[in-house]
């Protein structure tokens, strides 16, 4: 039968795992892959984005609530989960932007912040790792730092001279970046909603879209996972403080999503096995060596 395949998804905050790549993870769990979500921060400085929960008691207990929400989402997805223990930086707003709070994840030296992730990589021994691109998917300082730390750990985990006290070296074989918000996908869903006689949640977004920032051309890998979109949405709703159940995340009916864009999309950023783009499997080139 060969070795069990292992997938590690590195995210900045609790809830990110459910809005980025959740259907992919649910698909691989169903296929017998061991999946571990690594959450860099506790989300302590997150906002309450569900108007039904915008109350003082929720704000006062944010750290505890977000851990409880993460546990519910983890169970829905069927994954394992580890906390790295860093403190949420919050999302700076204003002009000029205020400085980040002392001691937060976004201000950690990359070499230091990568250490606990190297340790988890060497313990879990993933074949494939997913994370964010150099812009963090969007410019939250924790997302950008998550990218930096993930790349640094991917490159260090297999080197016996790096972090020698953090376990036996292990080199993951592939590193992917989430590419979920391409203009092509957004346009396709927008047009499908209009064709169905429904109001699209993407009209304003598309009107303001900067073509120079579109990364659709970077997609190398489209994982078919439409049958797991409902699991994805259930996991996201488990993060009750972070998502409005009546909001735009859930306005496109699942049947339209499955018919229009039934994949979650990625860029293969590092590859240590033979590659053949385009792909439809994060483990392409890995299965042949691991499961032989």
Residue 1 lies in a domain: no
Mean pLDDT across 64-74 = 97
- Residue 136: is its pLDDT beyond 60? yes
CA 51, 56, 62, 68 dihedral sign is negative
List, as one string, the DSSP characters of 258-291.
HHH--EEEEEEEEESS---SSBS-TTTTTHHHH-
Q: Which residues are annotated as a binding site for Zn(2+)?
A: 13, 16, 143
Residues 6+ apart with CB under 8 A from 160: 169
> Has this prediction a pTM greater than 0.85?
yes
Q: Could you tell me how many residues make up the chain? A: 292
Q: Alpha-carbon distance 223 to 280, whole Å? A: 5
- Residue 138: is its pLDDT beyond 90? no
Q: Alpha-carbon distance 206 to 160, whole Å? A: 47
- Residue 157: is its pLDDT beyond 80? yes
Mean pLDDT across 83-93 = 96
Residue 237 lies in a domain: yes
The per-residue pLDDT of the chain, averaged, comes to 96
- Residue 292: is its pLDDT beyond 70? no
Give me the domain span that covers residue 163: 6-181+216-290
Reduced to 3 states (helix: H, G, I; strand: E, B; else coil), residue 230 is helix
Q: What is the CATH number of the domain that holds 238?
A: 3.40.50.10320
Q: Are 263 and 162 in contact (CB under 8 A)?
A: no
Mean pLDDT across 94-117 = 95
What is the number of structural domains in the chain?
Answer: 1
Report residue 164 as tokens: 């020698």
Q: Which residues are annotated as a binding site?
A: 13, 16, 143
Q: Alpha-carbon distance 228 to 208, whole Å? A: 30
Residue 281 lies in a domain: yes
- Residue 20: is its pLDDT beyond 90? yes
Scanning the chain, the segments in alpha helix (DSSP H) are: 16-19, 22-30, 56-60, 62-77, 110-124, 141-156, 183-195, 203-207, 229-238, 254-260, 287-290
Q: Alpha-carbon distance 154 to 221, whole Å? A: 19
Residue 192 lies in a domain: no
User: How do 263-271 and 174-178 pair as beta strands?
Assistant: antiparallel
Give the C-alpha distances (Å, rounded to integers) separating 143 from 19, 22, 41, 84, 132.
Answer: 13, 17, 10, 14, 7
Residue 205 lies in a domain: no
Residue 232 lies in a domain: yes
Q: Alpha-carbon distance 80 to 36, whole Å? A: 5
Residue 166 lies in a domain: yes
Mean pLDDT across 1-12 = 91
pLDDT tens-digit readout, 176-190: 999 998 999 999 999
Percent share of the chain, pLDDT over 70: 99
Residue 211 lies in a domain: no
pLDDT tens-digit readout, 25-51: 999 999 999 999 999 999 999 999 999
pLDDT tens-digit readout, 264-283: 999 999 999 999 999 999 99
Percent share of the chain, pLDDT over 90: 91
Tell me, what's the pLDDT at 1? 55
Q: How far is CA 281 from the centre of its chain?
A: 17
**Calculated CA dihedral for residues 186, 189, 194, 199, nearest 10 degrees:** -80
Q: Which of 11, 27, 30 is nearest to 239 (CA)?
A: 11
């Amino acid at each position: 039968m060969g070795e069990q395949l292992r997938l590690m998804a590195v995210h900045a905050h609790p809830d990110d795992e459910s809005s980025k790549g959740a259907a992919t993870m649910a698909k691989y769990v169903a296929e017998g892959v061991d999946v571990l979500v690594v959450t860099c921060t506790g989300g302590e400085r997150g906002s309450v984005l569900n108007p039904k929960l915008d109350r003082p008691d929720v704000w006062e207990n944010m750290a505890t609530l977000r851990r409880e929400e993460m546990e519910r989402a983890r169970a829905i997805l069927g994954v394992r989960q580890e906390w790295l223990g860093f403190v949420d930086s919050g999302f700076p707003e204003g002009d000029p932007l205020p400085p980040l709070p002392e001691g937060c994840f976004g201000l950690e030296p990359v070499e230091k912040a990568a250490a606990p992730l190297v340790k988890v990589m060497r313990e879990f021994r993933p074949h494939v790792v997913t994370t964010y691109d150099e812009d963090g998917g969007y410019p939250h300082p924790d997302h950008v730092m998550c990218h930096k730390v993930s790349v640094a750990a991917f490159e260090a985990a297999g080197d016996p001279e790096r972090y020698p006290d953090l376990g036996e070296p292990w080199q993951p074989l592939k590193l992917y970046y989430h590419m979920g918000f391409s203009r092509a996908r957004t346009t396709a869903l927008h047009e499908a909603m209009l064709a169905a006689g429904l109001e699209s949640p993407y009209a304003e977004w598309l009107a303001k879209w900067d073509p120079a920032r579109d990364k659709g051309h970077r997609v190398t890998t489209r994982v078919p996972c439409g049958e797991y979109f409902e699991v994805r949405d259930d996991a996201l709703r488990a993060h009750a403080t972070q998502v409005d159940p009546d909001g735009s995340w859930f306005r496109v009916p699942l049947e339209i999503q499955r018919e229009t864009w039934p994949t979650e999309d990625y860029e293969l950023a590092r590859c240590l096995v033979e590659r053949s783009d385009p792909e439809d499997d994060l483990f392409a080139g890995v299965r042949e060596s691991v499961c032989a």
